[in-house]
Structure 1
């Protein structure tokens, strides 16, 4: 039993922030995000002992969190979204520029918001996000592209300053006007 408790404690320390931030991003409600966080780790505690490697464990936790978020959205009444001032320090961006960006991200449709969070905040590739959400990789790339376009509009970007990101290689390429 001590081994299970140690494993759970280590998993919470290593990946708890990612689980909470994803739930908060998805649900936009701190109380529901805390419930999802608790449910995910209780489910992990109830899982059979197996050889969890770090990335598999994180992916399992995030997939479980996404599933639990769907359950919360399906069975609970949605409450109003939190302002950034009400969000706990764990999920608050470090600087004002990042705060403005993540405030704009919070206004995106749910699918785009989740894709942006998993890709840019958690560092997952589009193929990995697709597997977590059980959608084609092209759908994730479309959601990311649409999210970037919406964010550009929300944040007042212009075409001559546009930076495109190659989904396959992750290289940044400057867009040139013809």
Structure 2
């Protein structure tokens, strides 16, 4: 179990990243807050030590994505309509009007996670595969499909085309 000091340090270090991942996934600010709390409660209760800082960060991302998936399964989440303003998260977009980030939010979960981790967090395909526990080729396919979906939705080329992914 983590100490209160370790928990506070983890919150200081990863709060922004956890909130950004939740923002990409969720339909309400309350869901973001719930997931944030869930992630750090699990961190506090974790008994095994982390190998290094990268392992800790990957664990935080994986737990955040899993908590988001848990919310997806609820009836309320599937039927709720987005009404919250997420502008305080200030995720940089290549589009000034925010259409890109809204389009990313509409992608299927696997595509959304791959696009977010690759473009917004700067992870390599191999690192994404380890975080989401998928094959590297699968992650590459998600990136290609995600780009195609975004291109269809936006009618243009908002993401850097990287066909090697």
Deviation larger for 48-57 or 145-154: 48-57
Match of 2:82 in 1: 81
Q: Calculate the TM-score normalised by the size of structure 1.
A: 0.77
Secondary structure of 1:77's match? helix
1:99 deviates by 1.8
Structure 1 residues 26-175: aligned runs within 5 Å? 26-48=25-47, 50-51=49-50, 53-75=52-74, 77-78=76-77, 79-82=80-83, 86-93=85-92, 97=96, 99-157=98-156, 164-165=161-162, 167=164
Greater RCO (Cα-Cα under 8 Å, separation 6 or more): 2
Describe the superposition over 1:153-175 as per-residue Cα deviations: whole angstroms up to 9, x where unpaired.
322327xx99531546xxxxxxx
Secondary structure of 2:98's match? helix
1:52 deviates by 5.2
1:74 deviates by 2.0
1:39 deviates by 0.6
1:29 deviates by 2.5
Distance 1:59 1:82, change over 3 A: farther
Larger radius of gyration: 1
1:48 deviates by 2.3
Query: Which structure 2 residue ranges, 5 or more long, are not aligned?
Result: none
Q: Calculate the TM-score normalised by the size of structure 2.
A: 0.82
Describe the superposition over 1:115-146 as per-residue Cα deviations: whole angstroms up to 9, x where unpaired.
11111111222222222222221111111111
* Whole-angstrom distance in 1 between the partners of 2:164 and 2:11: 30
Give the conservation status (yes or no) of the 8 Å contact 1:92–1:99. no
Distance 1:16 1:52, change over 3 A: farther
Aligned length: 163
Secondary structure of 1:164's match? coil
Q: What do you get for the CA RMSD once the two structures are aligned?
A: 2.8
Give the conservation status (yes or no) of the 8 Å contact 1:63–1:132. yes
Secondary structure of 2:65's match? helix
Query: Which structure 1 residue ranges, 5 or more long, are not aligned?
Result: 169-178
